[in-house]
């Protein structure tokens, strides 16, 4: 089931697609996740948690950049998901985004998968 996309494609900064795959929701942000675009990711993540999705996979394969605001969106979603008995998994981070998680140590609090396929198989 496709839940659609949020964001403004003409802006080109961040587009977020949400879709179902079995018991998981896959949230796919594409573009730059920063203080200008963070709300475009926060809303769909919180929607998945609110809808009772036990596992939300964030497919980072098309995420070009993530600043501290974006990181905080992901951390906040993780806390809300865990409080509801669910989890946020991250998949397919490129080097630029992975570096943010490495520097901050935030990668240690998420389940991180090398690929989306690996996250779906877990």
Distance CA 115, CA 106 (A): 18
Distance CA 31, CA 22 (A): 26
Residue owning tokens 């475009």: 40
* Average pLDDT of the residues in 28-35: 96
Tell whether the model's pLDDT for residue 7 goes beyond 90: no
* Average pLDDT of the residues in 57-74: 97
pLDDT confidence of residue 1: 36
With bands split at pLDDT 50, 70 and 90, how would you rate the model's confidence at 64? very high
List pLDDT tens digits, range 75-89: 999 999 999 999 999
Tell whether the model's pLDDT for residue 11 goes beyond 70: no
């Amino acid at each position: 089931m496709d839940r659609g996309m949020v964001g403004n494609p003409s802006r080109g900064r961040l587009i977020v697609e949400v879709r179902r795959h079995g018991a998981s929701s896959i949230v796919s942000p594409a573009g730059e996740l920063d203080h200008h675009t963070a709300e475009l990711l926060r809303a769909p993540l919180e929607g998945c948690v609110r809808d009772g999705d036990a596992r939300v996979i964030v497919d980072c394969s098309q995420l070009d950049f993530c600043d501290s605001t974006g990181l905080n969106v992901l951390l906040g979603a993780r806390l809300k998901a865990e409080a509801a008995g669910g989890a946020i998994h991250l998949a397919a981070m490129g080097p630029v985004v992975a570096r943010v998680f490495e520097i901050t140590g935030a990668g240690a609090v998420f389940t991180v998968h090398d690929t989306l396929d690996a996250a779906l198989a877990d």
